[in-house]
Amino acid sequence: MPASFWNAVWLFAEAGEKADAAKGADTNAPGGFGLTMLMPFALIGLLFYFLILRPEKRKQADHKSLLDAIKKNDRVVTIGGVYGVVANVQKDADRVTLKVDEANNTKIDFTFSAIARVITDEPVGDKK
């Protein structure tokens, strides 16, 4: 959430505490809108960060490093499921040329972001 939202919530909570103090009420008394009422929202925000935002940033960083390491003759799969061998890499033009058929020498151009993964020869099964 934007910082301005949290600033507004914080100011609202402080205004409630000041109003309670002006009335002579105990700021820790039940029924007031104190900072303890904001604790569940802060916990939800932290949960959202650790369960959704942080793993997504890690996934994006891993994909970016995969794209930076692509070179000629790598076997790749696109997000559309097209298998091919990298024939040409043009990083400045954001373009990768894949050879999809050896017999006819068929080549297709894709953007870098269309590459889903690089196929390796090592088995994906059990890791010991």
- Please report, for the domain that includes residue 90, its CATH number: 2.30.30.100
Residue 81 sits in the same domain as residue 103: yes
Domain stop point among 67, 84, 100: 67
Exposed, middle or buried by CB within 10 Å (0-12, 13-18, 19+), for 23? Answer: exposed
Q: Tell me the sheet residues that pair with 84.
A: 76
60 shares a domain with 9: yes
CA distances to 23, 38, 81 from 78, rounded to whole Å, are 66, 45, 5
Q: Is the CB of residue 85 less than 8 Å from the CB of residue 99? A: yes
Prediction pTM value? 0.61
Helices vs strands, H then E, count in the chain: 3, 5
Do 10 and 29 share a domain, yes or no? yes
The answer to the question of residue 38 being in a domain is yes
Q: Is 115 left (phi over 0), alpha (psi -120 to 50) or beta?
A: beta
**pLDDT value of residue 1:** 55
**Tally of domains in the chain:** 2
63 shares its domain with 8: yes
Q: Which residue has the higher pLDDT, 55 or 17?
A: 55
Residues 51 and 91 in one domain: no
CA distance 86 to 100: 9
For residue 66, give both structure tokens. Answer: 């995969």
Q: Average pLDDT of 63-79?
A: 94
Do residues 61 and 78 both lie within one domain? no
Residues 86 and 50 occupy one common structural domain: no
End residue of a domain, out of 47, 67, 87:
67
Percent with pLDDT over 90 in the chain: 55
Asked if residue 109 and residue 79 are part of one domain, the reply reads yes
- State the pLDDT confidence band at 123, using cuts at 50, 70 and 90: low
Domain interval for residue 14: 3-67
Model confidence at 37, in pLDDT bands (50, 70, 90)?
confident
Is pLDDT above 90 for 15?
no
